[in-house]
C-alpha cells in the first residue's frame, strides 16, 4: 500500500519497481495489493513488475473499496465485486488472482451476498481463493459457510491485539490463514518511528488517535522500551515486532510494508534470527491492549470496521 497510497509522499515509479524486484530476488513469494491503493495505480505497478515472474508468486488483491471519481467508496454489491475484479485482472496483467479479499464489509450488503460473488469468480476461474479483511469471527463464520475462506487479513501487532478477541482462534479452528497487516504498528516499531508533526498532510496516520499529541508520547516511550529489549536479544526492534506476530500461531502470516530495500532485508532476516520465548513474552507485557494509548482508528473509520474491538469490550 505505501508504495502508492496512504502514507504521504509516494516513491517514484522507478524506486517502487526497484523495491518490488529486490523483494522478488530475495525470495518473497506473497505480494498484496488492492483496488483502493492509489485508486488502481498499485495494481498496475505490481502487474508491471510481477508479470514476467507471475508463476513464482502468490498474488493477492482486494475489492469492496475503490476510488470512484476521486473518492474512496465502500461497495460490496455482487455486481461491483465482479466489475472490480475484471478491472483488477486488466491492471495486474494476469488472468487469475490467487487470493481475492473483500477489503471491507459493506454493512448494506449481507456478507453472504458479497462472498457469493467471490465464489462465482472462483467458479469462473478468475480467482483461486477467497479472503476477507477487517471482519469479526462471527462474520468470518457466516462467510465460510457460503464458500471456504482461505485467508483473513486483520491488523495484528504488539499494539493492535483485536484478533485475540475472536479471530485468532476462529481462523485456527477453521483452517484459515490469519494475515497480519501493519505488523510494525504503522512504523512505530522500527528504528525510525514517525514524527507526527512532520507527517505529510494526506498521511492516514494524521487521523489515527494513537499518533495524536495526547497519545503518541506514551506510545513512543513503549517503543523505546521494546527497542532496549530487542538490543539485549541481538535483534532490531522491527525484527522483534515481526517475530512476536509470527509466534502467535502456525497459521499466522505477516505482510510488512516498506519503501526501503534495506528495511526489506532487515524484515526478511527475522526468519533467520530466532527470538527467545522469554523475550517475546516480555515484549507482549510491555506493549499490549492495556498499555497502548488511544484506539487504532478515529470514530468515523471505526463505524465501517467489523472487527472485534477492545474499545467496545471495555
Q: If you average pLDDT over every residue of the chain, what do you get?
A: 95
Q: Which residues contact 162 (CB under 8 A, 6 or more apart)?
A: 154, 155, 156, 296, 307, 308, 309, 310
165-190 pLDDT, tens per residue?
999 999 999 999 999 999 999 999 99
Position with higher pLDDT, 10 vs 32: 32
Contact 293, 219 (CB under 8 A): yes
- Exactly one of 37, 100, 156, 297 is catalytic; name it: 37
CA distance 76 to 23: 32
Q: How high is the pLDDT of residue 314?
A: 40
Mean pLDDT of 143-168: 98
CA distance 185 to 106: 25
Contact 208, 186 (CB under 8 A): yes
Contact 118, 146 (CB under 8 A): no
- Nearest to 204, CA basis, from 262, 257, 164: 257
Known active-site residue 37: yes
- C-alpha cell, 274: 530466532
Residues of the chain above pLDDT 70, percent: 99
Record the pTM: 0.95
Q: Which residues contact 281 (CB under 8 A, 6 or more apart)?
A: none
CA angle, 62 then 64 then 70, to 5°:
100
CA distance 275 to 153: 24
Place of cell 494524521: 206
Q: Which residues contact 211 (CB under 8 A, 6 or more apart)?
A: 186, 194, 196, 199, 205
- Nearest to 181, CA basis, from 157, 207, 158: 157
pLDDT band of residue 312 (cuts 50, 70, 90) is low
Q: Which residues contact 72 (CB under 8 A, 6 or more apart)?
A: 36, 65, 66
Residues of the chain above pLDDT 90, percent: 90
- C-alpha cell, 237: 526492534
CA distance 232 to 228: 6
- C-alpha cell, 199: 507527517
CA distance 180 to 249: 11
- C-alpha cell, 191: 528504528
Q: How high is the pLDDT of residue 128?
A: 98
Q: How high is the pLDDT of residue 243?
A: 98
185 DSSP 8-state letter: G
CA distance 30 to 9: 24
Task: Reduce the DSSP state of residue 65 to 3 states and report it.
Answer: strand
Q: How high is the pLDDT of residue 199?
A: 92
pLDDT band of residue 313 (cuts 50, 70, 90) is very low
Contact 127, 97 (CB under 8 A): yes
Contact 26, 8 (CB under 8 A): no
Q: How high is the pLDDT of residue 302?
A: 87
- The dihedral through the CA atoms of 40, 199, 236, 172 has a sign that is negative
274-310 pLDDT, tens per residue?
899 999 999 999 999 999 999 999 988 888 899 998 8
Amino acid at each position: 500500500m505505501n508504495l502508492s497510497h496512504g502514507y504521504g509522499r509516494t516513491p517514484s515509479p522507478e524506486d517502487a519497481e526497484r523495491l518490488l524486484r529486490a523483494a522478488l530476488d530475495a525470495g518473497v513469494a506473497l505480494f498484496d495489493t488492492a483496488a483502493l491503493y492509489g485508486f488502481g495505480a498499485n495494481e498496475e505497478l505490481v502487474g508491471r513488475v510481477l508479470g514476467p515472474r507471475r508463476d513464482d508468486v502468490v498474488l493477492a488483491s482486494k475489492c469492496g473499496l475503490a476510488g470512484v471519481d476521486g473518492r474512496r467508496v465502500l461497495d460490496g454489491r455482487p455486481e461491483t465485486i465482479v466489475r472490480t475484479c475484471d478491472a483488477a485482472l486488466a491492471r495486474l496483467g494476469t488472468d487469475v488472482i490467487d487470493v481475492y479479499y473483500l477489503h471491507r464489509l459493506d454493512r448494506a450488503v449481507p456478507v453472504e451476498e458479497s462472498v457469493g460473488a467471490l465464489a462465482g469468480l472462483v467458479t469462473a476461474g478468475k480467482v483461486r481463493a477467497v479472503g476477507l479483511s477487517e471482519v469479526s469471527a462471527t462474520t468470518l463464520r457466516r462467510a465460510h459457510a457460503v464458500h471456504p475462506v482461505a485467508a483473513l487479513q486483520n491488523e495484528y501487532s504488539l499494539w493492535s491485539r483485536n484478533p485475540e478477541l475472536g479471530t485468532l482462534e476462529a481462523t485456527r479452528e477453521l483452517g484459515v490463514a490469519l494475515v497480519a497487516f501493519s505488523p510494525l504498528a504503522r512504523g512505530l516499531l522500527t528504528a525510525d518511528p514517525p514524527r507526527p508533526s512532520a507527517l505529510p498532510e494526506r498521511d492516514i496516520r494524521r487521523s489515527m488517535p494513537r499518533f495524536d499529541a495526547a497519545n503518541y508520547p506514551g506510545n513512543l516511550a513503549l517503543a523505546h522500551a521494546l527497542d532496549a529489549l530487542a538490543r539485549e536479544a541481538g535483534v532490531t526492534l522491527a525484527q522483534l515486532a515481526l517475530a512476536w506476530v509470527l509466534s502467535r500461531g502456525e497459521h499466522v502470516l505477516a505482510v510488512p510494508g516498506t519503501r526501503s530495500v534495506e528495511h526489506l532485508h532487515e524484515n526478511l532476516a527475522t526468519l533467520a534470527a530466532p527470538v527467545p520465548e522469554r523475550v517475546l513474552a516480555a515484549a507482549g507485557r510491555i506493549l499490549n491492549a492495556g498499555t497502548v494509548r488511544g484506539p487504532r482508528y478515529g470514530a468515523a473509520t471505526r463505524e465501517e470496521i467489523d472487527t472485534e474491538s477492545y474499545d467496545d469490550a471495555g
